[in-house]
Chain A
């Protein structure tokens, strides 16, 4: 009976942890299979423990090349989307102007559109203009779909900011530029960082829009997609595992920094 009562009381926790398990199971499989030595071209069945893939992560033709293209696109898309998105967010929160509603809808719509629709329509534009598909068309597309997410993240932060802080800075004879650089920007920074991080993750991982607008350029997700047909090298799992570890470390580091800052303030 005691067990039944305990079970009932912790039903939510048990359910939540099961969901967490469901969410992380593929990551566990990816990690375990990065130590596999498959017999055929596909790495779907466990054969034998081996460190080969970890010793030689770039041993597969073209994989690391695609990885580097993805990283370059993600970095430039993040920079572009973060700058453009932060500007829009500030305009939306800080100013009253005509067409605010229209601008808000234009920001909202890309997030409420299936990716395949954006991908297909963008391709019709490029086809009609006769644009050469490749690095630049991918970059253009990535900045486009990351933009809305950056705006949302930055807007949330700037909205919760007390405008009196800037008034105080101006009362203390700070010029507009000084106020912006020393007061506004540092307070908005966590929102901008969150937006940038999100943009990087979205761009680096995007497959659908890239697949339509890449031409013959191959990004890492496209390499993985192709390998699902041709044969999946173990090195793909190595990259997947490394990405997971780096992501967790990155977020942990960010939290440590912000915790320390909060403690300093207190």
Chain B
């Protein structure tokens, strides 16, 4: 697993120029099977999805391409709350992941000493345990009248979250708070690993130098550590935000009908209602929205904000 964590998972990495040229056709033969696979089963489906989204018809009579773009407007008009919710929940989960994940990544990179590998294993091991089972465990943890809800009640946290609209009444389960908690939990490792990778590369002597120049620990963090960990922050936030915005498992298992995200709608339309054009249109809108957001974000974080 070591080299998985060594690889910046999603960071747009500058390629080193290949050292030599040898055999003109060899690279093409090496690429052919894998690239064909991706073209047929990743790229081509996107084309079919667009084609499906502009079809009309019914399951009995069959669907035909009629360039019916109205489906897109109808889908947006009907399901904009779910879209908005997906962005909000995924955004909240991403911020929480960053806040929670940073200390742990920092701990592994600089403070864990000989426990480093043990902590790393404990971060990675949940990857190998079914995430559905672990998400179901949150039902037990957040159960009505359980210790967590009791503690939040005693500390009057629930009053605050009720007021904010994150929870309602005396329960956490089936509220937005539970869904965001599940999303944060599920995608936390995707934040920690890239953060750890970029923190680990920082030369410890830079911290000493900052200290020698009378920087307080927090100033060192703000001016040295955090800017140098930006590649990890960028790829970590992408790796949590993107899958979280399309997730429907957490909203389904821990939420209610009021917490449905766009993933839930796509799943229902595709697998239960069998309204393929609407489902394909929704899925296409989600993809386009995410690609636009990600491009803007990479642009912004890649240039001026990094300095």
**Taking beta carbons and an 8 Å cutoff, which residues of A are in contact with B?**
11-13, 15-20, 22-27, 29-30, 33, 44-45, 84-85, 87-88, 90-97, 100, 103-104, 106-118, 120-125, 127-128, 140-141, 143-144, 147, 151-153, 155-157, 159, 163, 190-191, 194-195, 197-198, 201, 204-205, 207-208, 211-212, 220-221, 224-225, 228, 232, 236-237, 239-240, 243-244, 246-248, 250-252, 254-255, 258
Contacts and interface: CB of A to CB of B under 8 A. Distances in A.
29 contacts: A12-B111, A23-B104, A88-B34, A92-B15, A95-B18, A95-B23, A103-B31, A103-B35, A108-B12, A113-B242, A113-B287, A114-B246, A114-B287, A115-B243, A116-B286, A121-B46, A125-B41, A141-B41, A144-B38, A147-B37, A147-B38, A153-B4, A156-B6, A163-B20, A197-B4, A205-B127, A208-B248, A228-B136, A243-B130
Given A91-B27, A224-B130, A248 B121 contact: yes
Query: When A and B form their complex, which 5 residue pairs have the shortest distance between CB atoms, in order from nearest?
Result: A114-B246, A16-B107, A247-B128, A15-B103, A156-B7
Contacts of A250: 128
Interface string B19-34: 1111100111011011
Contact of A244 (B44, B111, B126): B126
Given A44-B140, A93-B18, A23 B33 contact: no
A95 B31 CA distance: 11
Contacts of A16: 103-108, 111
Contact of B133 (A30, A88, A91, A156): A30
Nearest to A156: B7
Contacts, number: 300
B288 to A, nearest CB: 10
Interface stretch (B66-74, B161-169, B201-209, B263-271): B263-271
Nearest to A46: B140
Contacts of B270: 120, 123, 212
Interface string B77-114: 00000000000000000000000110111111001000
Interface string B244-257: 01111100010000
B279 interface: yes
Interface size class of B (residues with CB under 8 A): 35 or more
Given A106-B38, A114-B246, A240 B104 contact: no
B215 interface: no
B45 A125 contact: yes
Contacts of A247: 125, 127-129
Interface string B195-232: 00000000000000000000000000000000000000
B307 interface: no
B2 interface: yes
Contacts of A118: 42, 45
Given A16-B104, A87-B31, A247-B128, A153 B3 contact: yes
Nearest to A8: B217
A19 B266 contact: no
Contacts of B130: 204-205, 220-221, 224, 239-240, 243
Nearest to A254: B1
B37 A91 contact: no
